[in-house]
Structure 1
Amino acid sequence: MRGGGPGERSPGGFRLRTGAEVRRPVLVRRMRPLGFCLEDVRRLLNVLGQLPDTGGPLPATGEQAHEELVTTLRKYWERADARGEDLRGELRAAEDFAGAPHGRLPRLPAASAASRKAVR
């Protein structure tokens, strides 16, 4: 996507955004439920911006800098995976709790319509 400096607009009046400006809000929405803060998003965007596209050459800073970027990226993946597993566990527990009354309902005596309305 072509983009320029702040405030640049297309001939149709639309604001031109750089690739990073487009990716940032998407990344925020995806990372926030996993417990990442805005600073984490900034750092991750910085790392991603320094890594070459697939098949590209290593950065001019050399192989060691590249390995440090990959290590940082791997740490984000590991944190995201761990938090995702925590969330899946919380969801299983919530589903177990929510499903528990359903198993008991058929064993309960039929209640009057008035008492069922009172529970809601």
Structure 2
Amino acid sequence: MSAHEKINYVEFAAKDLGATKDFFRKAFAWEFTDYGEDYTAFSGEGLDGGFYQADLATSAERRGALIVFYSEGLEETLEKVKKAGAEITREIFSFPGGRRFHFREPSGNEFAVWSDKGL
């Protein structure tokens, strides 16, 4: 449900839409709806959004927005994203309130996963 003046949708560039969709299917069991050859959307994943074909990517090191997933089992999620083909850009580290790691999916976009479990 859309809420007035609240974050509703996020879009990411994807160098390889097929590889990006395959990664998120394998790592997190996401489903996609294609809108033509250059756009695919996801919903019900905590925040709705999509990927559009472009030779761009976002990362924290370039001061782009960092989307952070939550996990009740950080080590298990780390193994899932590795198996699905992610590049781990920061191994698990502690910070006040939890632990997290960062990864880059096949199109080069960087995400993070955090947990307050297992501290």
Question: Do the two structures share a fold, i.e. TM-score over 0.5?
Answer: no
TM-score by length of 1: 0.25
Q: Normalised by the size of structure 2, how large is the TM-score?
A: 0.25
The structure carrying a bigger helix percent of its residues is 1
Higher RCO (CA-CA < 8 Å; seq separation 6+): 2
Please tell me whether Structure 1 or Structure 2 has the larger radius of gyration of its CA atoms.
1
